[in-house]
Structure 1
Amino acid sequence: MLNASGISAAERVYGEVKELILTNEIPGGELISEGEIAQRCEVSRTPVREAFLRLQAEGWMRLYPKRGALVVPVTDREARDVVEARRLLEGHAVRTVVAAPAGLTTLTAGLRRNLDDHRDVHADDIARFSRVDAEFHQLIVTAGDNEVLSGFYTGLGERHRRMTTASVHRDPAITDRILADHAELLNRIEQRDAVGFDAALERHLTTVHDIPGATR
């Protein structure tokens, strides 16, 4: 059954539960039940079951019959892999923009607007903070003008959001570091310094996400 917006109950539950996972309101390692989510979303168990199956297929949870659904935690390996992929994609995009800077003005203007919006986010609104953070990095990748890489990064951005949210929950003061780092990244792009951008991005990602064994 569709609601007034044309969205099925299963689609709505999927979106709501996924957002709870991405914002760490349901942390990794927590076991949740169909009944609990059905009550929270005010639906029957059938759409919850459909949503859970989809979330399991995407790797966000693991289902256990008669027990519930385990939210899969972010492992150290996954965190390292996400950071490495982001460095490759963002670095490639910046090198592309610097080499053919027709879109450089558009990119830097967009990043500056994003940074202004980011500074205006209330400290307690972690969900919005992580969303605007992800948008900053998505702008960079999109500027690389490669639709395949940009599409890949969209999916990667969800893991990015989850990791950022976890970092802010762990250390709320990290928000100041994120904003300062974004300002530095923007400055490197404005200077057309792709090498400096790569180095600044590596420091930013390994520090914010507390990658084990990383040099800070």
Structure 2
Amino acid sequence: MLSATPESAAERVYREVKRQILTNEIAGGELISEGEVASRWTVSRTPVREAFLRLEAEGWMRLYPKRGALVVPIGDREARDVVEARALLEGHAVRSVVGDDAVRSALACRLAENLAAHRAADPADIAEFSRLDAEFHQLIVTAGDNPLLADFFVGLGERHRRMTTASVHRDIAVATRILSDHGELLDAVEAGDAAAFETALGAHLAGVHDIRPGDRS
């Protein structure tokens, strides 16, 4: 039950519905109604409508009057664009830190801690597994010490997280690949080898998200 002011109720509905979209609990292509959501969390339709409008503005939903809200599926073009942008941002970040032993070492330690927690997580808990996956890559971009790029990556990271949950839902074996690939990426950071990192990252992103080279559909 979401019992609070209309403003805080709208914020809570927004956060919960968005979480369900990012973790694939509400799948792309699914149509949900204001009434369903209002009934589920025992709120009026007004905060639900406000939340839906916000989600539509962010590109997660498409609203159809009197029919409901369609959760926008992940398109092939969107997936490729997200992967391409992530490769550019993460590669840039690693190139910017490999020449500074202290920064590179600190990043490697943070990535190792994340990887240990990730390996201990239950892959069946896809929400937590995908959160740790997104955190691993966010740590890399943040280490690049460019706040504008790091902030941009936060929004990009939400799309990345949704793609990861979809991939793990599709094939649980993807979780094992993610952990193995992250170990390889960590090794490249520790070695200060930006070229090896970029090669491993490209293979990681393409493999996890089933992106075929040259596919611009």
Normalised by the size of structure 2, how large is the TM-score?
0.95
| Range with bigger deviation, 57-66 or 92-101 | 92-101
- Structure 2 CA distance for aligned equivalents of residues 188 and 203 of structure 1: 14
| Range with bigger deviation, 115-124 or 159-168 | 115-124
| Range with bigger deviation, 96-105 or 74-83 | 96-105
Aligned residues: 214
The aligned residue for residue 189 of structure 1 is 189
The aligned residue for residue 209 of structure 2 is 209
Partner SS, residue 99 of structure 1: coil
Q: Deviations over 1:41-72 (max 9, x none)?
A: 22111000000000000000000000000000
Please say if residues 3 and 43 of structure 2, whose CA atoms lie closer than 8 Å, have aligned partners that are also in contact.
no
Partner SS, residue 73 of structure 1: coil
The aligned residue for residue 47 of structure 1 is 47
Partner SS, residue 211 of structure 1: coil
The aligned residue for residue 137 of structure 1 is 137
The aligned residue for residue 96 of structure 1 is 96
Letter in structure 1 aligned against 2:193: D
- Structure 2 CA distance for aligned equivalents of residues 95 and 147 of structure 1: 16
- Structure 2 CA distance for aligned equivalents of residues 166 and 197 of structure 1: 25
Q: Can you give the 5+ residue segments of structure 1 that lack an aligned partner in the other structure? A: none
Does residue 1:35 correspond to 2:43, yes or no? no
Please say if residues 34 and 68 of structure 2, whose CA atoms lie closer than 8 Å, have aligned partners that are also in contact.
yes
Q: Deviations over 1:80-118 (max 9, x none)?
A: 000000000000000000023331111010000000000
When residues 77 and 14 of structure 1 are mapped into structure 2, their CA distance, relative to the original with a 3 A threshold, is: same
After TM superposition, list the pairs within 5 Å mapping 1:153-168 onto structure 2: 153-168=153-168
Please say if residues 126 and 168 of structure 1, whose CA atoms lie closer than 8 Å, have aligned partners that are also in contact.
yes
Normalised by the size of structure 1, how large is the TM-score?
0.95
User: Structure 1 vs Structure 2: percent identity of aligned residues?
Assistant: 68
Q: Give the C-alpha shift of residue 10 in structure 1.
A: 0.2
Q: Can you give the 5+ residue segments of structure 2 that lack an aligned partner in the other structure? A: none
Please say if residues 185 and 200 of structure 1, whose CA atoms lie closer than 8 Å, have aligned partners that are also in contact.
yes
Q: Deviations over 1:182-208 (max 9, x none)?
A: 000000000000000000000000000
Partner SS, residue 164 of structure 2: helix
The aligned residue for residue 110 of structure 1 is 110
Q: Give the C-alpha shift of residue 213 in structure 1.
A: 4.1
- Structure 1 CA distance for aligned equivalents of residues 133 and 214 of structure 2: 21
When residues 73 and 47 of structure 1 are mapped into structure 2, their CA distance, relative to the original with a 3 A threshold, is: same
Q: Deviations over 1:115-163 (max 9, x none)?
A: 0000111121000000000000000000000000000000000000000
- Structure 1 CA distance for aligned equivalents of residues 124 and 13 of structure 2: 25
Does residue 1:86 correspond to 2:86, yes or no? yes
Q: What value does the CA root-mean-square deviation take over the aligned residues?
A: 1.8
After TM superposition, list the pairs within 5 Å mapping 1:16-27 onto structure 2: 16-27=16-27
Q: Give the C-alpha shift of residue 214 in structure 1.
A: 6.0
Partner SS, residue 98 of structure 2: helix
Partner SS, residue 55 of structure 2: helix
Partner SS, residue 8 of structure 1: helix
